[in-house]
Structure 1
Amino acid sequence: MDADRISKLPDHVIHHILSFLPTIDAVWTSLLSRHWRRMWYYVPTLEFSQFGNKDVEIFYNFVDDCLKHRMMGMHHNTMSVITRFNLNTVYRGRRSKVKLDRWLSFIAQPHLQKLVLNMFEYEPVRRRHYCLPEVVLNLASLTVLKLVFVELEACYPVSLPSLEYLYLGHVQMEDEILHTLLLGCPSLEELYIKDCDKLKSLRVSSSCLQFLDLSGNWETFTIKVEAINLQSFAFSNTAWKKPCSCRFDLASCKKIENLSLHGVSFYPDEDFASFISGLPLLESLALDQCDLIDIRNQHLKFLDVKTVRYKDRDQANWDEEDWDKVDWDEVDWDRIEISIDAPNLDSFKCYTKNLLVRFLMNSPNLSETFIHVGYCAETETRRREREREWIIVLIDVLFLVLLVELLMFPQVFRRNCRSPLPNVNKLKVEMGGYDEDGVRDALLWLAPSAETISIELEPF
């Protein structure tokens, strides 16, 4: 029989190992031997999940027993502390509330650092959320707080001086309640707000905040952020078929380096280009399903654009099951113009199902370009028309990028793709010094029917 090496480890090492297990597994170790009987009493982490426990009474009794034994351990040894508490359960109304209030009252100890509460609704139609008790929002030691499917009331103060990370998902709260909550978190560095649909106008004021991520199903949204150290801002409209009319006030956020916007439509009186140019340190920009693509920024290095638009806005609201029924010859695609004035841009990626894209670019330092055109089930005739239109776009990009390397189509690309300019009779290329034979081979694939190919080389 193999030797029991784990039992010979120092107790504090065993406690650390057990902290990575769900509490139910840590409790089972008490059956191993007398030495292990109370070992789990000193594990700093408690993690309970109702999922997999069909009988709610069994789950409630298990949590009650665990907390009772932990309380006994604390009376006998002051080293038995709880630093992390993770609870995933289904909220069933009043009876659940009595249990939850009692559990959280015990857990709210001076050493608690991380608290995760995920209260799924038993009857989502009634939208009954668990109302968080005041004691949770006044823990001086708490550094991480994650709340899902709870309700916050405005009847008590908030004091979370050590909190650095806050996640709010499906939380019922008004704008002023959130504002009060944030005022009580002076050390907050990361804030994530997901699907808190009651919010309409958000104010965030924090000198420590560095990361802000908002997502939800909004038709209109206004946000003012006063965070001088903010580095990353992301906003996502989860109802992407209907762009959210947004108004962003980030005037004091001059340190933003990363910006991501999804499903955003700016108000008519706001200039997107001016908004972008007002972020002097911006290096990375991601736009997904946004109406305006007019970008002017001197420091921008990475640009990622995902877009598809139609002249008929109703076509943008098709569900996935409708796509197979569409007569693509009747689809009226809208021309998209992407204007980019970013002299330091290094990487540009564009994902689109619309071939009618025109690029207006001032990016002489661009070294990486990726353009992905999604598949649409068009007829052969329409597809050929689209290919011709797309080749015009491709040639525009090649001229804009001004890099000879982009004409050197790889061999594997030439073998698997048809020549994009099969009917061109004359082709002329002007470029700086480069391998003339290599360029000629690439151009012969580009325009195989060309009677004359003129390559004018400038000296090295």
Structure 2
Amino acid sequence: MEHKIDRISELPEPILEHILSFIPLEKIPQLSILSKRWQNVWALLPILEFNQYIREFNPVKLGSISVNEKEQKIRRMKYDFIYFMEKILQSRYRQRLSINKFKLEMFDIDESDCALLNRCIGYAIESNVKEFNVELEYDQLVEEPEHYYQLPESVLTTKSITKLSLYKVKFDSFNCDINLPSLKKLYLHEVRVDEQFIQTVIASCRVLEDISFKGCYGFKSIHVSGLPKLMVLKLKYNHDLKRVEVQASSLQSLHIDNFWIPCQINLAPCESLKELVLHGTTKTSKWLHDILLKHPRVEKLDLTGCNMLEWVYISSPHMKTLNLSRCEKLVEVNINAPNLHSLGYCGGVISYALNVTALFEANLNFVGRIPWNVEKIAFLANYLSHPKLLTWRTVFIEGVIIPKELRESQQPFRPLYNVKKLELKAYFSPKKNEFSELVDSMLWICPLLEILSIECKDENKSVHNIFFKFSYENPVYKGGENFNCCKLLLDLCWRHYLKTVKIEDSGGLADEDDLRKYFYENAKVLKSFQYA
């Protein structure tokens, strides 16, 4: 009988650990049947991620048992999960093995779990954990922040922690001196803290590089200063926040989303600032203009739901990405950014002046059912005068079909020959016989499209796609010819260039015969039509 060689056991320990890092922790002990070495190696992993959802929770398995029996079974499953976690952590602690990353995800937390959780967290802390992540969910009856799990104070004095990420816990009071000298990343999501805690953490963690507070409670102001290495600051949906002060010379990215709640923002000059994201703020155009003057090296600017903005003036050789979305009072935009690469706009028809010669891609979304008129076409021609890639979002497909009578009234209109790829994303699908009208409108705007991609949804909200691929040839113009199709244009239209059409319609959205007829009747030099 041939002897089977256990090649797994011959692998170096770092490779075994790398393989095991892709497998849920709760499943790893089962792999010991594959190799004797895995009986011990799995317990030595430096990355410990405990997820109660993966390990136990499956309502289908509970069957049609009574509510009381179900509660008892869930309670027993939760206790088994915590016991499993404690056993592993305790073993590592006794062997004096350090932990690179500890992550805990649990649900239905209540007071009876606190002692066990404290013990498990204590073992992780004593194992010189570097990345510490706790994400908890609660029974609906104790979902209020005052009932959140109080994290042990020992977490705040762990010198080894480099990343602290917490979700739905609280620090109502603490009697220790916060000592996190290695902390570089601090993420608090729906955490209950007070201003004293926030300011003490900032004052004592001098090597912080990345701070994110999202949906937190209990503090009305935050003052960020004295952090020479801070590069990223994100403040999003913090319910009580009314004042933000930032003094951080190394800051590169600032993101503030205040849910349209008035908040005073004082930003001292940050010479390294490259990204500024403002969502739902109540700042004025004058305030924004002054901020941009003080931070001329901003490369990315995202303004969404800033409803106090009436105008936006930008003149910068450094600006590369700009997004203006749903700023309700915005009526005028003037952009002089020769190196701008990406431009996004969501709103109504407004005054747009652009000097963006390097623009590659544009995103467009008209809010509501804005009827087509001369002003809307002029806006479109101005907004899309440079990009090669256009993504156009709409709810109703008629929102992108320009009426023929309106097209015929444009004198003159210069088509957008620069746009080579158009991605149209509609919430509702057009009717089968409407695709030819839709394509006709898109080619009137962008007559040298190479790819037209249409994404839409059916009545069941399933997403479908149809792709048009076009190729062209140089037109042969004979003197004295009079083309009615081009009489209002400054150049010949697509009908004199289009050579081949290839359509990929896996969802059967369009009418093949209708499209075939449309292209052969309109394209003067068409040589090939393929439909798949």
The TM-score range, normalised by the shorter chain, is: 0.7 to 0.9
CA-to-aligned-CA distance 1:254-289 (integer Å, 9 cap, x gap): 210011111111169x62211221112111111111
C-alpha displacement of 1:297: 4.0
Aligned to 1:142: 161
C-alpha displacement of 1:5: 2.5
Note closer, same or farther for the CA distance 1:118–1:141 as it changes in structure 2 (3 Å cut): same
Q: TM (normalized to structure 1)?
A: 0.74
Note closer, same or farther for the CA distance 1:446–1:427 as it changes in structure 2 (3 Å cut): farther
Q: Whole-Å Cα distance in 2 between the matches of residues 203 and 181 of structure 1?
A: 11
Q: Is the 8 A contact 1:276 1:295 kept in 2?
A: no
- SS of 1:51 mapped into structure 2: helix
Matched letter for residue 359 of structure 1:
Y
Greater shift, 144-153 or 29-38, is seen at 29-38
Aligned to 1:226: 247
Q: Work out whether 1:17 is the aligned partner of 2:26.
A: no
Aligned to 1:337: 331
- SS of 2:306 mapped into structure 1: coil
Q: Work out whether 1:236 is the aligned partner of 2:257.
A: yes
- SS of 1:13 mapped into structure 2: helix
C-alpha displacement of 1:57: 2.7
Aligned to 2:150: 131
Aligned sequence identity (%): 24
Q: Whole-Å Cα distance in 1 between the matches of residues 109 and 412 of structure 2?
A: 73
CA-to-aligned-CA distance 1:226-271 (integer Å, 9 cap, x gap): 111110111224x4xxx23232222132210011111111169x62
Aligned to 2:496: none
Aligned to 1:301: 320
Q: Work out whether 1:63 is the aligned partner of 2:82.
A: yes
Note closer, same or farther for the CA distance 1:67–1:218 as it changes in structure 2 (3 Å cut): closer
Aligned to 1:38: 40
Note closer, same or farther for the CA distance 1:136–1:428 as it changes in structure 2 (3 Å cut): closer
Aligned to 1:320: none
CA-to-aligned-CA distance 1:185-225 (integer Å, 9 cap, x gap): 21111111111133321111211110111210548632111
Q: Work out whether 1:116 is the aligned partner of 2:109.
A: no
RMSD of Structure 2 on Structure 1 (CA): 3.5
Number of aligned positions between the proteins: 392
Residue segments in structure 1 that go unaligned for 5+ positions in a row: 310-333, 407-415, 430-436, 456-460
Q: Is the 8 A contact 1:165 1:189 kept in 2?
A: yes
CA-to-aligned-CA distance 1:168-189 (integer Å, 9 cap, x gap): 1000012221111222221111
Q: Is the 8 A contact 2:184 2:210 kept in 1?
A: yes
Note closer, same or farther for the CA distance 1:118–1:337 as it changes in structure 2 (3 Å cut): same
C-alpha displacement of 1:67: 3.1
- SS of 1:37 mapped into structure 2: helix
Note closer, same or farther for the CA distance 1:157–1:221 as it changes in structure 2 (3 Å cut): same
Identify which of 270, 285, 288 aligns with 1:253. 270
Greater shift, 367-376 or 10-19, is seen at 367-376
Note closer, same or farther for the CA distance 1:170–1:280 as it changes in structure 2 (3 Å cut): same
Aligned to 1:367: 359
Q: Is the 8 A contact 2:48 2:102 kept in 1?
A: yes
Aligned to 1:410: none
Q: Whole-Å Cα distance in 1 between the matches of residues 374 and 484 of structure 2?
A: 13
Q: Is the 8 A contact 2:314 2:337 kept in 1?
A: no
Note closer, same or farther for the CA distance 1:38–1:446 as it changes in structure 2 (3 Å cut): farther
Q: Work out whether 1:175 is the aligned partner of 2:185.
A: no
Q: Is the 8 A contact 1:421 1:447 kept in 2?
A: no
Q: Whole-Å Cα distance in 2 between the matches of residues 158 and 125 of structure 1?
A: 27
C-alpha displacement of 1:23: 1.9
Matched letter for residue 20 of structure 1:
F
Note closer, same or farther for the CA distance 1:392–1:103 as it changes in structure 2 (3 Å cut): same
C-alpha displacement of 1:15: 2.9
Identify which of 46, 49, 57 aligns with 1:47. 49
CA-to-aligned-CA distance 1:383-439 (integer Å, 9 cap, x gap): 3xx3333013234547xx6x6999xxxxxxxxx86668534475388xxxxxxx98x
Q: Whole-Å Cα distance in 2 between the matches of residues 420 and 345 of structure 1?
A: 37
Aligned to 2:234: 213
Q: Is the 8 A contact 1:358 1:393 kept in 2?
A: yes
Greater shift, 23-32 or 228-237, is seen at 23-32
Greater shift, 224-233 or 63-72, is seen at 63-72
Q: What is the 5 A alignment of 1:166-205?
A: 166-205=186-225
Q: Whole-Å Cα distance in 1 between the matches of residues 199 and 149 of structure 2?
A: 20
Aligned to 1:422: 407
Q: Is the 8 A contact 1:264 1:290 kept in 2?
A: yes
Q: Whole-Å Cα distance in 1 between the matches of residues 484 and 156 of structure 2?
A: 65
Aligned to 1:323: none
Aligned to 1:409: none
- SS of 2:249 mapped into structure 1: coil
CA-to-aligned-CA distance 1:41-98 (integer Å, 9 cap, x gap): 21112221121524233333343345335534554x55x3322211111253321111
CA-to-aligned-CA distance 1:283-329 (integer Å, 9 cap, x gap): 111111113142334232321111253xxxxxxxxxxxxxxxxxxxx
Q: TM (normalized to structure 2)?
A: 0.65
Aligned to 2:518: none
Identify which of 175, 197, 206 aligns with 1:155. 175
CA-to-aligned-CA distance 1:12-63 (integer Å, 9 cap, x gap): 4323322333221122234556543333221112221121524233333343
Matched letter for residue 59 of structure 1:
K
C-alpha displacement of 1:348: 5.0
Q: Whole-Å Cα distance in 2 between the matches of residues 184 and 446 of structure 1?
A: 75
Residue segments in structure 2 that go unaligned for 5+ positions in a row: 58-73, 390-400, 415-473, 493-532
